[in-house]
């Protein structure tokens, strides 16, 4: 690691009133820290630009857009954003979660039951429907962006969220992108249905449907179609039927397989997907009264 890319040390102030406790992770453009908030007298999570990306205007815009969006959203399955700070560097302050990422649970072979997989899908449908009502797509659903906390899933990263419409190819993480994300097609609600599907497929089987994750991997430009197809198996083939890898209730398998149709128009709507998941034996509908 170069000196310019060094992380902030414990005890340093990332912003006035926010003291570094620990560096948690580093991505292509961002650092994530565990911090102490004097205002809240509690720990928080702080996301900021890496020092060597501080002058990257595109990375700064994405971080600021995520901070503003999180400040507008209040949903039980989306991490809560507390503040977007501008000085001395842009920092997004978020709530601290105590659970593990779904990626960690899969890596530890902590296999979810069919009912738990269906409940996970229902919670993701709920969060993504809410995001869509605010006219944003998520576009980067994957196990490392979901925290499981006492039976509740929370989406923790909205850094790639954007409005529906056509976008350049390669926005997302290469092995989780829908085909239309890879090629620079029209991005719509069905793109996030695919995202839920690849998460549920991996939670079910313990392995990605289309290879392994690379942090914020970017696709070659759409003009490089041959190279794109080599790097992105979702352009060449359909995901294996999930029951080829694990015994599941037929309704759950049908729901997961339907989300991974290569043609976005063939995928179910979020409402239809949620209805299928509620039919899985043993699943408790979110609308059901709490047991007394």
The CA distance from 44 to 70, in Å, is: 14
CA angle 26, 183, 143 (to 5 degrees): 35
Are 47 and 63 contacting, i.e. CB atoms less than 8 angstroms apart?
A: yes
Q: Does the active-site annotation cover 55?
A: no
Catalytic residue (one of 31, 140, 157, 192): 140
For residues 87-118, one letter each, b for 16 or more C-beta atoms within 10 angstroms of the residue's C-beta and e for the rest, the string is: eeebbbbbbebebbbbbebbeeeeebebebbb
Distance of CA 271 to the CA centre of its chain: 19
The answer to whether the beta carbons of residues 99 and 148 sit under 8 Å apart is yes
User: 129-146 burial by CB neighbour count: b if 16+ within 10 A, else e?
Assistant: bbbbeeebbbbbbbbbbb
Alpha carbon dihedral 246, 249, 254, 259, in 10-degree steps, equals: -70
Q: Does the bond joining 268 to the residue before it have cis omega, within 30 degrees of 0?
A: no
Are the C-beta atoms of 94 and 159 separated by less than 8 Å?
no
3-state secondary structure of 91: strand
Write out the catalytic residue numbers.
140
């Amino acid at each position: 690691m170069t000196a310019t890319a060094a992380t902030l040390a414990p005890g340093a102030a990332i912003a006035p009133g926010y003291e570094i406790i620990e560096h948690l992770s580093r991505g292509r453009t961002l650092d994530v820290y565990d911090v102490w908030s004097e205002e809240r007298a509690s720990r928080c999570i702080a996301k900021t630009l890496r020092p060597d990306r501080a002058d990257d205007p595109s990375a700064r815009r994405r971080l600021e857009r995520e901070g503003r969006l999180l400040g507008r959203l209040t949903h039980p399955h989306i991490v809560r954003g507390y503040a977007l700070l501008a000085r001395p560097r842009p920092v997004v302050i978020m709530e601290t979660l105590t659970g593990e990422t779904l990626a960690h649970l899969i890596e530890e072979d902590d296999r979810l039951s069919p009912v738990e997989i269906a409940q996970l899908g229902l919670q993701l449908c709920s969060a993504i429907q809410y995001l869509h009502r605010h006219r944003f797509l998520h576009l980067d659903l994957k196990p490392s962006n979901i925290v499981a906390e006492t039976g509740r899933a929370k989406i923790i990263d909205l850094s790639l969220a954007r409005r529906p419409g056509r976008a350049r190819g390669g926005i997302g993480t290469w092995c989780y992108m829908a085909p239309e994300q890879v090629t620079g097609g029209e991005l719509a609600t069905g793109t996030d249905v695919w995202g839920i599907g690849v998460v549920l497929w991996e939670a079910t089987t313990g392995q990605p449907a289309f290879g392994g994750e690379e942090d914020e991997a970017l696709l070659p430009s759409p003009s490089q179609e041959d190279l794109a197809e080599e790097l992105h198996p979702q352009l060449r083939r359909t995901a294996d039927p999930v029951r080829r890898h694990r015994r599941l209730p037929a309704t759950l398998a049908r729901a997961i397989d339907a989300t991974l149709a290569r043609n976005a128009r063939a995928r179910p709507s979020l409402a239809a997907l949620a209805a299928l998941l509620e039919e899985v034996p043993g699943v408790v509908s979110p609308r059901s009264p709490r047991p007394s």
